[in-house]
Structure 1
Amino acid sequence: MARILALDYGVKRTGIAVTDEMQIIASGLATVATKELLIYLEGYFKSENVELVLIGEPRQMDNTASESEVYIQEFLKKFSEKFPQMQMKRVDERFTSKMAFQSMIDSGMSKKKRKDKALVDEISATIILQSYLYK
């Protein structure tokens, strides 16, 4: 089997999570500056066997697209041009940032670490991946 990668796409930073090769465990991988994301993914895809990329789909409470969807659509176009063979799926990402922050509190993480937005993005990507794996 191959890994599944999840992206919590943001205008400035993108959180990344990945499964093990058996697709059982979801773990945070990194947070990357979004402008460097395609380069990062290219290197990762060369070194690891990835069969699917999940991309968070931000939605409003009334189920309409979030304002950040415009930027995600631009990224999706670039991604599919650069990696035409890679399978992509969108996953509802509502509340993942709140859930990530709460998991940081629950784990006893210090206030200083909880202010690290890059860590929140990585944990959010992990939650997106877990929601896909365990549905």
Structure 2
Amino acid sequence: MKRKLAIDLGTKRCGFAISDAFSMMAFPLENFSFNENNYDAVILKIQKILAEYSIDTFILGYPTKISGEKIAMTLNVEKFKQKLEENFDIPVVYVNENETTKKATEILINANLSRKKRKNLKDKLAAQLILEKYINRGK
């Protein structure tokens, strides 16, 4: 069975989360830092992840305002989706990522983690929340 890979894309960091083989549970995988807007580096990182895991779907966090209106990062994500489709023969599904980074930060604050530890965990936890949204909407 194949897994889902969730991507929480930022301008300098990206969080990854992965499902179990049955796509029932989501797990934080890792964070990846890159030079600002160097999304080719993210593509190379994904190639490494694909060498380790069998992935059948990319779940890409789609940022908008609460009203659904696009923001500047929305355009970056749309361009990145094109890069994914050009480089991999794997379907890409958008999932609204509203409030996921905020919720991830709240979870980490409630866990009494230091600011440094929160920074190191926030993006992959946000990716996990995005993947959980995807999994739960299929139930």
Q: Fold conserved (TM > 0.5)?
A: yes
Q: Which aligned pairs between 1:1-135 and structure 2 lie closer than 5 A?
A: 1-34=1-34, 35=38, 36-83=41-88, 85-114=89-118, 116=119, 118-135=120-137
Give the aligned residue type for 1:100: A
Alignment coverage as a number of residue pairs: 132
* Farther-moved stretch of structure 1 (102-111 vs 21-30): 102-111
Give the match's secondary structure for 1:61: coil
The CA distance in 2 between the partners of 1:10 and 1:56, in whole Å, is 10
Shift of the 33–112 alpha-carbon distance from structure 1 to 2, 3 Å rule, reads closer
Q: TM-score if structure 1 supplies the norm length?
A: 0.90
Give the match's secondary structure for 1:76: helix
Q: TM-score if structure 2 supplies the norm length?
A: 0.87
The CA distance in 1 between the partners of 2:26 and 2:111, in whole Å, is 17
| Structure 2: stretches of 5+ with no match in the other structure | none
Cα distance, 1:24 vs structure 2: 2.0
Give the match's secondary structure for 2:72: coil
| Structure 1: stretches of 5+ with no match in the other structure | none
